[in-house]
């Protein structure tokens, strides 16, 4: 990264202000990066748990596969309510509620296991939706963490050293200019004193 500046106090003050802003923002960015990294680990654990729960539930129904072929079409999804959650300034989707619609069916003409089967299906659907949302959360959090890490690295490894270096160059230039000015004044004063005597 290169930027242009002038060798004057105004330029130096602007660089110092920009440097102070980055130095002030750096701890917040590092804290955000840490919070996002921890949240990603947490959501991954929850995702793994939900995937295992769904796998176990499906495994428990494996022996009943033939009767599932007789399941009547009584369950449908009416609405899926997605809420938003703010994690370190990043908005992620969160399952609020799934509203199911269960069509009326006769227990006299249908099998007795249908109500229990409907509850199992509801659970499978809910777990599947949660799994997709957890995966989406991880994706969003990972992108935000990646951007935050890039910004931390940009500040720490590029911009802050560059601002410090530029400020030092301007300081040296101004000091050299001041020293040259003093030397010139001494030479002029000495010349005037010689001319006066």
Whether the predicted model's global pTM rises above the 0.85 cut: no
User: In the structure encoding, which two tokens stand for residue 1, read together?
Assistant: 């990264």
Task: List, for residues 27-80, the tens digit of each pLDDT value.
Answer: 999 999 999 999 999 999 999 999 999 999 999 988 877 777 777 788 889 999
Task: List, for residues 72-129, the tens digit of each pLDDT value.
Answer: 788 889 999 999 999 989 999 999 999 999 887 766 666 777 788 889 999 999 999 9
Give the domains, in start order, of the chain with CATH numbers. 9-196 (1.10.287.3240)
Host H or E run for residue 91: strand 90-102
Residue 85's DSSP bridge partners are 92
């Amino acid at each position: 990264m290169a930027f242009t500046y002038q060798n004057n106090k105004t330029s130096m003050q602007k660089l110092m202000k920009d440097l102070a802003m980055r130095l002030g923002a750096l701890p917040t960015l590092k804290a955000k990066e840490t919070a996002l990294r921890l949240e990603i680990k947490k959501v991954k654990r929850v995702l793994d748990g939900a995937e295992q729960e769904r796998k176990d539930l499906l495994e428990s129904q494996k022996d009943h596969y033939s009767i599932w072929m007789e399941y009547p079409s009584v369950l449908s999804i009416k609405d899926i309510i997605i809420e938003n959650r703010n994690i370190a300034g990043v908005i992620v989707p969160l399952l609020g509620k799934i509203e199911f619609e269960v069509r009326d069916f006769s227990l006299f003409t249908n099998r007795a296991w249908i109500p229990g089967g409907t509850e199992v299906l509801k659970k499978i659907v809910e777990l599947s939706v949660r799994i997709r949302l957890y995966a989406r959360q991880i994706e969003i959090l990972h992108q935000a963490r990646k951007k935050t890490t890039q910004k931390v690295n940009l500040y720490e490894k590029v911009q802050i050293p560059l601002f410090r270096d530029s400020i030092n160059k301007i300081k040296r230039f101004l000091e050299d200019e001041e020293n040259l000015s003093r030397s010139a004044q001494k030479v002029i004063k000495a010349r005037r004193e010689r001319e006066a005597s």
